[in-house]
Amino acid sequence: MTDKQIVELSLQNQERAHELLRKTHIMEILSEAGTDAHIVGSLAMGLLINHLDIDIHVYSTDVTLQDSFAIMAKIAENESVIKIECRNLLHTEEACIEWHVWVKDDEDKTWQIDIIHILRGSRYDGFFERMAERINDVLTTETRTTILRLKYETSGNEHVMGVEYYQAVLRDGIRTLGQFNKWRELHKPNGIIEWIP
């Protein structure tokens, strides 16, 4: 696939992601529940390509299982939602409830929407929004295309965090899949990568 085709695929998938959010009314449901919701991750940075996922961070001054489950019950009413998983991390330094929602789009493709319900004022309050903002600030056409190409070329069976691509390309000058694979051998992640350019 040419660079131009990769960029076009990315733009198409980003539009599909926004359409899916409109169709499921997720952002409206989160807002009506009194939360402060932000799209983060690859969609916020225009770096979504072939891994069909959307990351949303949701903030509340008081995060409870009861309130979070009530929000997710509203989201689950949409017939395109096929599965929901929950991880209670309120008693960790992450201070959140992690939701994973699988949704079918109009083309019968399955998307994963990660909704992280975070306690306002906790360690990661706003962190990933700042990360996305800084990455957007430093991206060039060349580095954006490189990241999209690496994401496209990476095996679908392998879990790679988006921040690994961003760090490798933006900080360490990685440009090819071979270089990236070697880079990953030397930079094995251990939990959340707290890197902002």
Q: How far apart are the C-alpha atoms of 120 and 6, rounded to whole Å? A: 37
- Per residue in 117-132, pLDDT (tens digit) is 999 999 999 999 999 9
Contact between 96 and 56 (Cβ < 8 Å): no
Strand partners, 116: 57, 98
- Per residue in 37-74, pLDDT (tens digit) is 999 999 999 999 999 999 999 999 999 999 999 999 99
Q: CA nearest 86: which of 65, 105, 103, 67? A: 65
- Per residue in 168-194, pLDDT (tens digit) is 999 999 999 999 999 999 998 888 888
Q: CA nearest 115: which of 23, 33, 30? A: 30
As given in the structure block, the two tokens for residue 95 are 């201070």
Whole-model pTM above 0.75? Answer: yes
